[in-house]
A and B are shown apart, each in its own frame.
Chain A
Amino acid sequence: MDKILLGRYIKGNSLIHQLDPRLKIFLSFYFIGIIFLCNNWQTYGLLAALTLVCVWLTHVGIGFFVKGLRPLLWLILFTVVVQILFSTGGEVLWQLGFIKITDVGLKDAVFIFCRFVLIIFMSTLLTLTTTPLEIADGLESLMMPLKKLHVPVYEIALMLSIALRFIPLLMDETTKIMNAQRSRGLNFAEGNLLQKAKSVIPLLIPLFISSFNRAEELAYAMEARGYQGGEGRTKYRVQIWQGKDTVALILFGVITLALIWLRS
């Protein structure tokens, strides 16, 4: 349970922590876009350097970033292996039947691996240095243009922040109920698949019930305090665009130009 990195905010006051959440969200997506411009050592090298500098600037140990790779480890390995075995072209280094390992294949595999690692590091960077609520607020203001298309932006943002707010609570609740049922002799890891599936019922039913109760209570509490979302509602946390945000944006622009110039 603890391995879920979502909302794993690490408190800090580094330069990266101080950047505007809207900028950080935008750049995380932008980074995924520009990484597809890379096609040689120089371009990957440039983005790797950028990523490492950003990671260093957060003052959060690199261990946290490496941990972020873990859930996707198998996907990464699978893609890398497929890339090695089934790439065509270039000089054949080793061959067995229809499987050829070529220098191009190896190079592509390394690039794919780098692409995964860099993207994951950058998105981990966002979640490690930005609180879930900041992300929700940031998304809300980034989605504002969609309001014109009658997308219920306020409602989506509210749902998002409520969901984010309740994830840790739900996880606590899960641990608590698992402990209670374990104490009543239930073993979650024991038996065949059917027994394992059945052992989830004593966990899921109490969780559903408490979630529904909580949702109802929250709704009453919000209504009792006259909650009204949407137009005209001001925010407690106002996100302010600062000089350093502009600098970061320009930096990414320059890097994009450099990538276009360096790529082959």
Chain B
Amino acid sequence: MVMSIDFERLSYTYQADSPLAFQALHEITFTIPEHSYTAIIGHTGSGKSTLLQQLNGLLKPTTGSVTINGQTITAETKNKELKELRQEVGFVFQFPEAQLFEETVLKDIAFAPQNFGKTEEEALEIARQKARLVNLPEEVWEKSPFELSGGQMRRVAIAGILAMEPKILVLDEPSAGLDPKGRLEMMELFESLHQEQGLTIVLVTHQMNDVVNYANQVIVLEKGTVIKEGTPDDIFSQPDWLKEHHLGLPDTLTFAYRLAKKGIPFSEGMPYDEASLAHYLGELIVKRGANNG
């Protein structure tokens, strides 16, 4: 089975056939390969959320289709056919802690596996495993999720989605509202799921640092169309283009630009990630040292 996500001329219109009709996506075509880490960037209202909701059939295309792990969804797909897909695609919404409702942390994590046919015992076993995976201390497992801190609630919610054991993980601004440490831990968790369990990750974010640090494919949306698609290299090597489309730069690139203004030469193009910037500067210092010496 092909485990990729293929958008094929997909358009989506909200409230079609009504005076309030609004077309959010225009003939979107792209592919997210298996085991990739894809970042989707774009402004508020560019259609990112609408696009994400096509990934597990929460919204169905108005025209065109999307094929996920071999299952094609078009306007005619019946809701019944979506259950299997929902299990394969774990969807972490923005502020996912809003979805918590159970009496205890473990029960809440066990909710999804039970919906997908696991017995209570099996589900609780999975829940314990996932609670450990997201670093929830054992003493909170039997507490009400509403007694926890915001960061811990977020972990419970994410564990609740990982409990479905999805093959694709869709993340809508997963680190929004967390402190810097929580943010880093969260992103490292997803990175390890990507590296170790081979999950395909689709990340929507405004954090360009996360894009350069983790993603290996970037899709830029504007007004419901894909205006650019490529590796982070392709995207961030054109800072003028990014500025033109009012997209931010990662911190490393901003830093490199300020160095360039002070007269540091970047003849081979701007390094956009931390490692290459550090490497370049290191070499430069060694070279200058040699010249002066």
Contact = CB atoms under 8 A, between A and B. Distances in A.
B111 A184 contact: yes
A206 B115 contact: no
* Size class of the B contact interface (CB-based, 8 Å): 20 to 34
Contacts of A206: 98-101
A209 B161 contact: no
Interface residues of A, number: 23
Given A184-B111, A185-B83, A186-B115, A179 B53 contact: yes
Contacts of B160: 184
B83 A187 contact: yes
A134 B272 CA distance: 52
Contacts of A13: none
A229 interface: no
Interface stretch (B64-72, B86-94, B236-244): B86-94
Nearest to B55: A183
B116 interface: yes
B58 A179 contact: yes
B91 A183 contact: yes
A183 B87 CA distance: 8
Contact of A184 (B19, B146, B164): B164
Nearest to B161: A184
Contacts of B79: 189
The main secondary structure of chain A at its interface with chain B is helix
Contact of B99 (A63, A64, A184): A184
A221 to B, nearest CB: 18
A202 B86 CA distance: 17
Contact of A180 (B15, B93, B164): B93
B56 interface: yes
Contacts of A205: 101
Interface string B79-121: 1000100110111010010111100000000011001100000
Given A63-B19, A209-B146, A182 B58 contact: yes
A185 B87 contact: yes
Given A2-B15, A185-B115, A180 B99 contact: yes
Contact of B116 (A185, A201, A209): A185
Interface in B202-237: none
Contacts of A64: 19
A182 B101 contact: no
Contact of A177 (B19, B99, B161): B99
A70 interface: no
Contacts of B56: 183
A197 B219 CA distance: 41
Contact of B112 (A173, A176, A184, A189): A184
B83 A181 contact: no
A177 B87 contact: no
A222 B73 CA distance: 47
A184 B166 CA distance: 11
A210 interface: yes
A243 interface: no
B131 to A, nearest CB: 16
Given A176-B93, A202-B111, A185 B98 contact: no
B111 A201 contact: no
Given A183-B91, A184-B164, A201 B101 contact: yes
Contacts of A176: 93, 98
Nearest to B101: A205
Nearest to B113: A185
B111 to A, nearest CB: 6
B164 A177 contact: no
Contacts of A173: 98
A90 interface: no
A177 B94 CA distance: 11
A61 interface: yes
B129 to A, nearest CB: 17
Contact of B91 (A61, A180, A202): A180
18 contacts: A2-B15, A61-B19, A173-B98, A176-B93, A180-B91, A180-B93, A183-B56, A183-B86, A183-B90, A184-B112, A184-B115, A184-B164, A185-B112, A187-B83, A187-B115, A202-B101, A202-B111, A206-B99
Given A184-B99, A185-B87, 5 more contacts: A177-B98, A183-B58, A202-B111, A206-B98, A206-B101
Closest 7 CB pairs of A and B: A185-B115, A205-B101, A183-B91, A180-B99, A184-B112, A202-B101, A185-B116
